[in-house]
Amino acid sequence: MKKLLFPLFILCNTFLSLAQQDPQYTQYTYNMNVINPAYVTGDTGHIELGALYRRQWTNVEGAPETITLFGHASLRRNIDLGLTVVNDQIGNDITETNVNGDFAYRFNLSENLRLSLGTKLGFTVYNADFSNLTLDSGGSNTDPAFANVNSTFLNVGAGAFLYSRNFYLGLSAPNLIPSKHLENTAATTFEGREDIHYYLTSGYVFRLNPDLKFKPSVLLKTAAGAPITTDIAASFLMRNKLELGVSYRIEDAVSALFSYKISPNFRVGYAYDYTLSDLNEFSQGSHEIFLTYSFEVRSLTDCFPNRFF
């Protein structure tokens, strides 16, 4: 019975206009440019590539799965470029793919403080296929309320990122253009709408000794008409290799965080979310794994001559 009810629960929440639709991330600090185009990764001439996979609410049929690919390059003249691809799938019926490019410019406010302002531009491809849907009520998938949807939408986002050697504060809206996936018509009494999501992130690095850092961070996320989601995390980074931490998403989940730097350029990480909400009755938690690879290419600084900026 649980397996029958939960996909319907997921489906209904997908179409609620006041729901938060953006994918959830636990280790968001390792793919920050997905939510903030102004995010800065490092020194000029560096490229960072990464991939993240998240399996939400394990053991629940039709639960969301997210695959994220991201890349970021820091260039001369305080220029940062990024690219993100996010594929979010609910069961076999609903798929949303976002492809976005990022551009950011960094300003030196003081010797130790910088401000980065960024913009995000791209598109979303949304597909909902209910051809295999069978309703227990006796209805069929020919009901106009369950018509298939194939749409493409423009994305435009913006963000700001204030940072120093030990501190950062970010504010962003990855997509400033609300879009409707389903119209509220005579055939259906609900609509599917994607509203603007706002993110506030902040963190600090305490250097306890040359081999140990303490990294608390917080993420606040909200959308129009939806409550604020708050993530509070803290981790210890040992010798810049092994990172262990915990995270608490208020009234939703508690998480264990892990990452390890296999080589100077390559890091792998994992997070497990234990569900605290009523979904705990259905779910065995959520799993998230990521890989990042960074490298230095000084020739990148020659791609954008000074006269262009």
pLDDT of 298 over the 80 cut: no
Percent of the chain past pLDDT 70, that is, above it, reads 78
Query: Tell me: the pLDDT tens digits for 127-138?
Result: 887 666 665 555
User: Is 175 inside any structural domain?
Assistant: yes
Query: Tell me: the pLDDT tens digits for 114-173?
Result: 999 999 999 999 888 766 666 555 555 555 555 677 889 999 999 999 999 999 999 999
Q: What is the predicted pLDDT for the residue at 74?
A: 86
Query: Tell me: the pLDDT tens digits for 23-73?
Result: 889 999 999 999 999 998 766 678 899 999 999 888 777 788 999 999 999
Query: Tell me: the pLDDT tens digits for 192-201?
Result: 567 889 999 9
Tally the domains of the chain.
Answer: 1
Per-residue 3-state assignment (H helix, E strand, C coil) for the chain = CHHHHHHHHHHHHHHCCCCCCCCCCCCHHHCHHHCCCCCCCCCCCEEEEEEEEEECCCCCCCCEEEEEEEEEEEECCCEEEEEEEEEEEECCCEEEEEEEEEEEEEEECCCCCEEEEEEEEEEEEEEECCCCCCCCCCCCCCCHHHCCEEEEEEEEEEEEEEECCCEEEEEEECCCCCEEEECCCCCCCCCEEECCEEEEEEEECEEEECCEEEEEEEEEEEECCCCCEEEEEEEEEECCCEEEEEEEECCCEEEEEEEEECCCCEEEEEEEEEECCHHHHCCCCEEEEEEEEEEECHHHHHCCCHHHC
Q: What is the predicted pLDDT for the residue at 5?
A: 40
Per-chain mean pLDDT for the chain: 83
User: Is 299 inside any structural domain?
Assistant: yes
Query: Tell me: the pLDDT tens digits for 211-268?
Result: 999 999 999 999 877 889 999 999 999 999 999 999 999 988 999 999 999 999 999 9
User: Is 183 inside any structural domain?
Assistant: yes
The parent domain of residue 114 ranges over 2-304
User: Is 309 inside any structural domain?
Assistant: no
User: Is 20 inside any structural domain?
Assistant: yes
CATH of residue 33:
2.40.160.40
Q: What is the predicted pLDDT for the residue at 140?
A: 52
Instruction: Report, as an integer, the average pLDDT of 176-183.
Output: 72
pLDDT of 15 over the 50 cut: no
pLDDT confidence tier of residue 3, bands split at 50, 70 and 90: very low
